[in-house]
Amino acid sequence: MKILIVFAHPEPRSLSASLRDVAIHDLEAQGHEVQLSNLYDKGWKSEIDRDDFPTLPAGDRLKVPGSSRGAFDAAALTADVGAEIGKLRWADTLILQFPLWWFSMPAILKGWVDRVYANGFAYGVGEHSDRRWGDRYGEGALAGKRAMLIVTAGGWEEHYAPRGINGPMDDLLFPINHGILHYPGYEVLPPFVVYRADRLDEAGFELVAERLRGRMRTLATTPPLPFRRQNGGDYLIPAMQLRPGLEAPGTAGFALHLTHGDPGKID
Amino acid sequence: MKILIVFAHPEPRSLSASLRDVAIHDLEAQGHEVQLSNLYDKGWKSEIDRDDFPTLPAGDRLKVPGSSRGAFDAAALTADVGAEIGKLRWADTLILQFPLWWFSMPAILKGWVDRVYANGFAYGVGEHSDRRWGDRYGEGALAGKRAMLIVTAGGWEEHYAPRGINGPMDDLLFPINHGILHYPGYEVLPPFVVYRADRLDEAGFELVAERLRGRMRTLATTPPLPFRRQNGGDYLIPAMQLRPGLEAPGTAGFALHLTHGDPGKID
């Protein structure tokens, strides 16, 4: 397999960096090819702005979707963005690894998404009509590939449980797993999450590392999260509302968009 | 009132900028004091890194929570971060305004949160014992103040409805409203959201502007989202799980942490 790891932690001697190396070593030992985008190390630019669109005439308003589309169609995206798009096309598996800061990804990784997910590449793809609303949520440029998150959190696992005060981890990660990964087509594997990451001792680290190695060895076989496909028949078009009655009674919120509660469905 | 607007859009002639000016003009016409943190305009640094902690010895590992605490306690945060903390203390109302990119805030605004929310200021505050888990979720440095989001989204409102494919807007914004605003103590007002923002014509803009003026005139009186307080008795401590049976049957996910479905509660 070809695996791209996009890594976002500022400290080379961090727990995150150690886990990243555990993953890379294990994947390479299995004979896989690994590329790493180490965002802090490469001084990644986080802010999308006019400099992202060198062909935008000086007097024109920057409209991000339109300017992005123009630059993508003209092959005029900046070199750093173009290189990342190339890696996404090369890889059959994408791993995003980051510490959970304020219940989401660090700014530098959000900036990777904001800038690399160009219009015409990651969105604005496919037929838009009364029968289809583009290729997204299971279809698109990255369909047929797999993706997963490796997340380190300082907090306690209980606080991220279904009734935990922070909200359930699955729901906190939904905007990323569904909105960023599934959107351009990825099959999304369950995330690998480490809790109380600041407090791990050596024995604790080795347990986490072994669990991570297990996930690296099953990248190709782990069942993905059962997100519904936009154009698979479950949604009304163009309202893009889930058809009534598909889900188990009492299902609400983000959970509606996964099939694992559907009556009669076998995941 | 004293109002701080933190604004994150790269184009000075954008719809977002026009709405920001509508808000500012209306607030000033009411006699309020307004400060603006225009993140793109001031070249805000998005990435938290070693440069944020000038007193961290060169050979020491950067551990973000620990390094942040050290710098905060020693009054050694960088000048840009210190200025923003000063503005947060000054303001009795905070408004974050941003375009919704990939179902969250732009990187530059996430970087404002990551960097300004120092340990000892926005988290790591208050007594931690078997009776209290710190001052957070309704208590903390910013308790007694109000906050709200102004969000522009390119997509259709239906796609963000309770059964919409993107997930409900209230749930997509929960990690911000609850995890970033309520966490350090803010009362959080319902967000002001503009859908299909790319397609607004002049008449459409005027309708949106008038709706926004209405919200600016009711900043002090709009009932906040009824988030539960961590230390108000609804959570078990230290598990920080919501006590059984408080919520209406069928409530799940993020909605558990608001009281508006509670049987017998009057919001």
Q: Tell me the β-bridge partners of B133.
A: B128
Q: Kindly identify which residue of chain A lies nearest to residue B257, measuring between CA atoms.
A: A165
- Rounded to a whole number of angstroms, the distance from the CA of A233 to the nearest CA of chain B is 12
- Partner residue opposite A254 with nearest CB, options B47, B106, B253: B253
The answer, for A197 touching chain B at a CB cutoff of 8 Å, is no
Tell me the C-alpha distance between A192 and A217, whole Å. 13
Q: Which CATH superfamily is domain A2-224 in?
A: Flavodoxin domain (3.40.50.360)
pLDDT per position as a tens digit, B85-106: 999 999 999 999 999 999 999 9
User: pLDDT averaged over chain B?
Assistant: 95
- Partner residue opposite A164 with nearest CB, options B167, B168, B241: B241
Q: What percent of chain B has pLDDT over 90?
A: 91
Residues of B in contact with A239 (CB under 8 A): 158-159, 164
Q: Above 90 in pLDDT, residue B4?
A: yes
Say what the pLDDT of residue A264 is: 63
- Partner residue opposite A252 with nearest CB, options B180, B253, B257: B253
Say what the pLDDT of residue A265 is: 61
pLDDT tens sequence for chain A (267 residues): 999 999 999 999 999 999 999 999 999 999 999 999 999 999 999 999 999 999 899 999 999 999 999 999 999 999 999 999 999 999 999 999 999 999 999 999 999 999 999 999 999 999 887 778 899 999 999 999 999 999 999 999 999 999 999 999 999 999 999 999 999 999 999 999 999 998 899 999 999 999 999 999 999 999 999 999 999 999 999 899 999 999 998 899 999 999 987 876 654
Tell me the C-alpha distance between B5 and B212, whole Å. 14
Tokens (6 digits) for B28: 């000033």
Beta strands in chain A (DSSP E): 2-7, 33-38, 93-99, 146-152, 187-188, 192-194, 235-236, 241-242
CB A257, CB A227: distance < 8 Å = yes
Q: Kindly identify which residue of chain A lies nearest to residue B15, measuring between CA atoms.
A: A63
The band of B265, judged by pLDDT with boundaries at 50, 70 and 90, is low
- Partner residue opposite A158 with nearest CB, options B137, B239, B254: B239
Residues 6+ apart with CB under 8 A from A171: A253, A254, A255, B171, B174, B253, B254
Secondary structure of residue B101 in the 3-state scheme: strand
pLDDT per position as a tens digit, B67-81: 999 999 999 999 999
The answer, for B58 touching chain A at a CB cutoff of 8 Å, is no
Window 106-125 of A: residues touching B by CB (8 A cutoff) are 106-108, 110-111, 113-114, 117
Q: Tell me the β-bridge partners of B149.
A: B96
Q: What percent of chain B has pLDDT over 70?
A: 99
Helix %, strand %, coil % of chain B (to 5): 35, 15, 50
CB B234, CB B243: distance < 8 Å = yes
Say what the pLDDT of residue B263 is: 79
pLDDT per position as a tens digit, A40-88: 999 999 999 999 999 899 999 999 999 999 999 999 999 999 999 999 9
CB A168, CB A153: distance < 8 Å = no
Residues of A in contact with B50 (CB under 8 A): 10
pLDDT per position as a tens digit, B178-199: 999 999 999 999 999 999 998 8
Of B80, B83, B89, give the one whose Cα is nearest residue B54.
B80
Q: Reply yes or no: is the peptide bond before residue B226 cis, omega within 30 of 0.
A: no
Tokens (6 digits) for B125: 């505050």
pLDDT per position as a tens digit, B27-66: 999 999 999 999 999 999 999 999 999 989 999 999 999 9
ipTM over 0.85: yes
Q: Kindly identify which residue of chain B lies nearest to residue A164, measuring between CA atoms.
A: B241
Give chain A's largest Cα–Cα span. Answer: 60
Residues of A in contact with B47 (CB under 8 A): 10, 40, 44, 46, 106-108
Domain spans in chain A, listed from the N-terminal domain onward:
2-224
Residues of B in contact with A253 (CB under 8 A): 162, 167-168, 171, 252-255
Output the DSSP codes for A47-94.
---GGG-TTS-TTS---HHHHHHHHHHTT-S-HHHHHHHHHHHH-SEE
pLDDT per position as a tens digit, A4-19: 999 999 999 999 999 9
Window 59-98 of A: residues touching B by CB (8 A cutoff) are 61-65
The answer, for B7 touching chain A at a CB cutoff of 8 Å, is no
